Amino acid sequence: MQSAAFQKLQHYLNSQIIGQESLVKQVLVALLADGHILVEGPPGLAKTRAIKSLADCIESSFHRIQFTPDLLPADLTGTDIFRPETGEFKFQPGPIFHSLLLADEINRAPAKVQAAMLEAMAEKQVTAGRKTYALPKLFLVMATQNPIEQEGTYPLPEAQLDRFLLQLNVDYPDADSELSILRLNRGEAQGINATQPDKLSQEDIFKARQAVLNIHMAEPIEQYIVRLVMATRHPKQYDEKLAQWIEMGVSPRATIALDRCARAHAWLNGRDFVSPEDVQTMAFPVLRHRLLLTYQAQAEGVHPNQIINQILSLVGSA
């Protein structure tokens, strides 16, 4: 069942990132499912604040990297530095050797930097020169993209998008939340801050991950996940229009991600079993960035969420 420590953490994060309850929950799902997050939304919607607030509540190191077109792989991974006193080269670790990493505007970095990120996210290791260095056991990347300004950007290739466990779309808060944000900001300026819960140790997180893996998932739910994935690969079997929209379906990595995230979602909701609703809720952030749309779908302005909704309506959960 849900840990009291994670309940307190979720409540605290919701008090700091107002009007973005879904973002908070999905960030915790990614933490529990041991995956990385791609967050897309206009500037100023607390994307950076979310990961920073999470980092403040965990006994771990945090670093923010502003991705720019002139960034080099060594600026991220580190490099060998010559030490005259010893006459030898010594590896100087880069900012990627932190447990929680905020990759701000990741699509502004060139392909070589994105490739360096790909190895780190996939293998939890970094290669510099002839040596390979392991990253921390707890390693979570939260990358952001701004969907409005695309000038001077390098779109992430499908292989790298597939490495992200979740893609989260952040929208503007409603009027009530906006008023609460205004008051929260004024209070912080006056030195009034919410009481931060006790920090989670990394051991607490690893134990919670094991508890998530032990959540019961019935065989019909497993089959439901597989049917959803197969619908993206063979859409013509379900709907002719769907086949006109999907160029390529999702990979087996999506199947694994949907399983892990549905379990984490159920655990956060205080249940010891996975329901079809858990799978349906997590299908959107797990699948939307992995679907490759046809030119016809793009021309018609079809959003991946629309396709996933169609798949969920066509594929029965029973």
Q: Answer whether residue 201 is part of any domain.
A: no
Q: Answer whether residue 148 is part of any domain.
A: yes
State how beta strands 78-83 and 88-93 pair.
antiparallel
Q: Are residues 176 and 297 in the same domain?
A: no
Give the domain-ending residue among 172, 189, 206: 189
Q: Answer whether residue 210 is part of any domain.
A: no
> CATH number of the domain that 251 lies in?
1.10.8.80
Q: Are residues 161 and 228 in the same domain?
A: no
Q: Answer whether residue 222 is part of any domain.
A: yes
Q: Are 121 and 165 a contacting pair, CB within 8 Å?
A: no
Q: Are residues 185 and 264 in the same domain?
A: no
Q: Are residues 185 and 127 in the same domain?
A: yes
H helices present in the chain, as ranges: 4-16, 21-33, 47-56, 73-77, 111-123, 158-161, 175-189, 202-213, 219-233, 240-245, 252-268, 276-287, 295-299, 304-314
Q: Answer whether residue 102 is part of any domain.
A: yes
Q: Answer whether residue 196 is part of any domain.
A: no
Average pLDDT on 285-291 reads 94
Question: What separation in angstroms does the CA of 204 have from each of 6, 39, 194, 309?
Answer: 10, 25, 23, 36
Q: Are residues 140 and 230 in the same domain?
A: no
Q: Are residues 243 and 138 in the same domain?
A: no
> CATH number of the domain that 45 lies in?
3.40.50.300
Q: Are residues 97 and 136 in the same domain?
A: yes
Domain count, the chain: 2
pLDDT digits (tens, 9 = 90+) for 132-182: 889 999 999 989 887 766 665 778 888 888 999 999 988 888 898 889 888
Domain hosting 83: range is: 4-189
pLDDT digits (tens, 9 = 90+) for 73-129: 888 888 888 888 888 888 888 899 999 999 988 888 888 888 888 888 888 888 877
Percent of the chain with pLDDT over 70: 97
Residue 168 is inside which H or E element, if any?
strand 166-169
Q: Answer whether residue 141 is part of any domain.
A: yes
Q: Answer whether residue 118 is part of any domain.
A: yes
